[in-house]
Amino acid sequence: MQAILDEPDKLIGLTLLQLTLFPNGNCGGYGCGTGADDGNIADGESWGEFIGTNHALRNHPNGQKESVWAGGFIRFDGALEREMWFFNNWIPTGVYNDLMDIANNDSIDNVWDRTGGLTIQQLYQAFGPDVDFMCNYFTRIITLYPFLNFNDVNDIFVEHGVGCL
């Protein structure tokens, strides 16, 4: 156990694992978005789903996955662009792709997606020990990347069910 405590990244991973497996609050099980630790679960699970889908797309450009949000199978590229949330509507996976892609008004009329251009590394760097729910992530994005329009970033978060203001 001491070896884990000496390495902060492992400690953060262990803490997230504990929060996911043993959430508190009235939901039981995996959480429901209202438990005291569900913000940590939303951050970790949404990031993991985004990175996993992005990696899968790079390795399998025509691959598909089952999507609760889409109600069936969806191509990896479609999932990155269209999925708003993962498994539960309080785990917003689509935020990251919308902060990466450049203003996308595609066939589903994402008129709220008016900004982007961040890299995966920049998105990752916005995480930190103080980011324990998505609104902290929003604040870090705005702080680290002031070239992004505040209202445009806010619209992305709101559209994904994360109202921080």
Nearest residue to 58 (alpha-carbon basis) of 122, 116, 120 = 120
Q: Which two tokens stand for residue 148?
A: 């992004």
Maximal CA-CA distance, the chain: 52
| 145, 158 contact by CB (below 8 A) | no
- At residue 92, what is the residue type? P
Note the pLDDT of residue 8. 45
| 151, 107 contact by CB (below 8 A) | no
Note the pLDDT of residue 26. 61
Residue entry with tokens 């919308």 = 98
| 33, 51 contact by CB (below 8 A) | no
Residue ranges per structural domain of the chain: 37-159
Q: Which two tokens stand for residue 39?
A: 């913000």
Q: pTM value?
A: 0.82
Nearest residue to 46 (alpha-carbon basis) of 90, 14, 102, 110 = 90
Residue entry with tokens 């929060």 = 19
Write out the chain's pLDDT in tens, 165 residues.
Answer: 444 444 444 445 556 666 666 656 566 666 677 777 778 788 888 999 999 999 999 999 999 999 988 899 999 999 998 888 887 888 899 999 999 987 665 555 577 888 999 999 999 999 988 888 899 999 999 999 999 999 999 999 999 989 888
Report the helix count and the strand count for the chain, using DSSP H and E.
Answer: 8, 2
Note the pLDDT of residue 10. 44
